[in-house]
Amino acid sequence: MGREPGTRALLEALRGRGVRVLLPVLLADNDLDWAAYEGPEHLLPAGRGLLEPDGPRLGPAAVVEAQAVLLPGLAVDGAGMRLGRGGGSYDRVLARLTAAGAHPALVVLLYDDEVVARVPSEPHDQPVDAVVTPAGARRFPS
């Protein structure tokens, strides 16, 4: 979306390895539903310039079965705190994961200059486990 790093090659590589990938579907209240990625030919234009899968919706709770969740962001800091876009969609996802006792790897895809010394955070914010940039991956201590 916008200036975010593209994920098409990653989606295809994962699909080629037989990994089941769920993509978000933005709901009217800014919460997220999920649907399986079945290839680029099954993506449809949606609001806000997004593409969404055309398959069956799996419900907002489908994310609790994930082994890893790729989170969007504007920046991440040295402690792994993520600055989101402000819509709250992924804050709801993270709260849903916590409530379910699920602990998937939380990863943010960013550009190198979006890894900064410090981002503002609020008490409900949760650190991510890693950031991936064109320069490489960095894990954060838990």
84 is in an annotated binding site: yes
4 is in an annotated binding site: yes
pLDDT of residue 2: 56
142 is in an annotated binding site: no
6 is in an annotated binding site: no
47 phi/psi in degrees, rounded to 5? -60, 160
Where in the chain are the domains? 8-139
Q: Residue 115: in which H helix or E strand, if any?
A: strand 115-116
49 is in an annotated binding site: no
Dihedral sign from CA coordinates of 101, 32, 90, 109: positive
Mean pLDDT, range 50-70, rounded to an integer: 95
Tokens of 78: 């040295």
Mean pLDDT, range 6-12, rounded to an integer: 89
The region of weakest confidence among 33-42, 43-52, 86-95, 124-133 is: 43-52
The reply to whether CATH 3.40.1160.10 applies to domain 8-139 is no
Residue partners of 108: CB distance under 8 A and separation at least 6? 70, 71, 72, 73, 76, 82, 128, 130, 131, 132
pLDDT of residue 85: 80
